[in-house]
Amino acid sequence: MTNSHELARLGQSVWYDNIRRAIIKSGELQRLLDDGVIGITSNPSIFEKAIVGSADYDESIQALAAQGETAVTIYESLAMQDIASAADMLRPVYDATDGVDGYVSLEVSPTLAHDTDGTIADARRLFAALGRPNIMIKVPATPAGMPAIRQLISEGINVNVTLIFSLASYDDVMEAYIAGLEANQSSDLSRVASVASFFVSRVDSAVDKLLAAKGNQTLQGKIAIANAKAAYKRFQQTFAGPRWEALAARGARGQRPLWASTSTKNPAYPDTLYIDELIGPHTVNTIPPDTLTAFNDHGTVAETLTMGVDEALAQLAQLAEMGVDLTAVTQKLQDDGVAAFAQSFESLLASVAQKQQALLAQG
């Protein structure tokens, strides 16, 4: 019994924030599943590290290059193979949990972050091509992403909403999900799934610098968790009451908060900080490899998410009183996140093209 299994007893699902062909083929993914992982997330940066940073894919790249495929189609073919293989391995989890867990997430092209129609079309295409019920399509929580989320949910396409940093953005995400369910014509909504990926550690990385400049140490390392606890309170309030109950009567499930960016960036903080402090029911924590190893080794398992909420709200109020504009900070974090994923994608395509040429030259 691992700490990951213990989290499940408290209502929190552990998803693995990493995918790579080697872990699928070597049996490592099965070991992770045995140890309590019940979902997988990916993003362009993860695929860049997997494809560019290893020789795992060289044989496939060479074969696809010989067929005249472009760098874009080669990348997508590689990514889709990994996502499909992982989804098949996680299908027993999906079935055993009645569709609550067992999902694998794949992001729409990062170049579409500000393109509603393009996002909808890409999500439809990816979801149909993968043809598995335990796939989630990742859509960024940009203004252009909100109507896309609503439309995709109305069509029964599972959505992992990513790059949420602010409470206002989170409110918009929950509204898009609920409105999408209301527009869905199905009498049974139980197979429409969504999570809201609320990013954590990056908030402290940004805010701590501003606090240091003001000479404040008491709030350093506190605001990211406070922000997440405030978000969870809004989750509890939103998925209750007559409007939600009408959807629940049709089988609808709440859009669980998913804590993302939960590796500790500041070495002065505990390496399991953003897991230990955010444990609570109806949530997911997507955990990168090193952090998952650390948590299973020495993490603390206790329901903490619902504790100290008033203190968390007071900390957010104190931050505002000090003149730190958290709205501006979180908006910049989202903008930077969108740009970073787009940059990773472009770098990935350039590296695939280089590998393509080098492998073709080897014959």
Q: Per residue in 289-311, pLDDT tens? A: 999 999 999 999 999 999 999 99
Count of beta carbons in the 10 Å neighbourhood of residue 314: 12
Task: Specify burial of residue 72 (Cβ count, 10 A radius: 0-12, 13-18, 19+).
Answer: middle
Q: Which two tokens stand for residue 139?
A: 């859509």
Q: Quick one: what percent of the chain has pLDDT higher than 90? A: 88
Cα distance from N-terminal residue to C-terminal residue, the chain: 49
The verdict on residue 45 lying in a domain is no
Residues 53-83: tens digit of each pLDDT:
888 998 898 899 889 899 999 999 999 999 9
Residues 208-229: tens digit of each pLDDT:
999 999 999 999 999 999 999 9
pLDDT value, residue 284 = 98
What's the whole-number mean pLDDT along residues 136-162? 98
pLDDT value, residue 43 = 87
The verdict on residue 177 lying in a domain is yes
- pLDDT bucket at 156, cuts 50 / 70 / 90: very high
What's the whole-number mean pLDDT along residues 250-260? 98
Helix 223-238 to helix 167-183 angle, to the nearest 10 degrees? 30
Domain that includes residue 255, residue range: 3-20+98-343
Q: 């860049």: which residue's tokens?
A: 48
Average pLDDT value for the chain: 96
Q: Are 123 and 152 in contact (CB under 8 A)?
A: yes
The verdict on residue 31 lying in a domain is no
The verdict on residue 39 lying in a domain is no
**Which positions are catalytic?**
138
Q: Are 356 and 77 in contact (CB under 8 A)?
A: no
Q: Are 224 and 273 in contact (CB under 8 A)?
A: no
Q: What is the C-alpha separation between 253 and 255, in angstroms, rounded? A: 6
Provide the domain count of the chain.
Answer: 1
Q: 């699902």: which residue's tokens?
A: 13
Q: Which residues on adjacent β-strands are paired with residue 15?
A: 286
Record the pTM.
Answer: 0.96
pLDDT value, residue 359 = 77
- pLDDT bucket at 356, cuts 50 / 70 / 90: confident
Residues 39-48: tens digit of each pLDDT:
999 988 888 8
pLDDT value, residue 301 = 97
- pLDDT bucket at 323, cuts 50 / 70 / 90: very high
For residue 193, which of 177, 206, 208 has the smallest C-alpha distance?
177
The verdict on residue 82 lying in a domain is no
Q: Are 291 and 246 in contact (CB under 8 A)?
A: no
The verdict on residue 43 lying in a domain is no
CATH number of the structural domain spanning residue 214: 3.20.20.70
Q: Would the pLDDT of 183 be above 90?
A: yes
Q: 């997507």: which residue's tokens?
A: 286
The verdict on residue 176 lying in a domain is yes
Q: Are 316 and 226 in contact (CB under 8 A)?
A: yes
Q: Which residues on adjacent β-strands are paired with residue 259?
A: 198, 285
- pLDDT bucket at 363, cuts 50 / 70 / 90: low
Task: Specify burial of residue 98 (Cβ count, 10 A radius: 0-12, 13-18, 19+).
Answer: exposed
pLDDT value, residue 167 = 98
The verdict on residue 247 lying in a domain is yes
Residues 6+ apart with CB under 8 A from 18: 40, 42, 46, 288, 289
Q: 């606890």: which residue's tokens?
A: 229
What is the residue-wise DSSP string for 122-188? Answer: HHHHHHHHH--TTEEEEEE-STTHHHHHHHHHHTT--EEEEEE-SHHHHHHHHHHHHHHHHH---S-
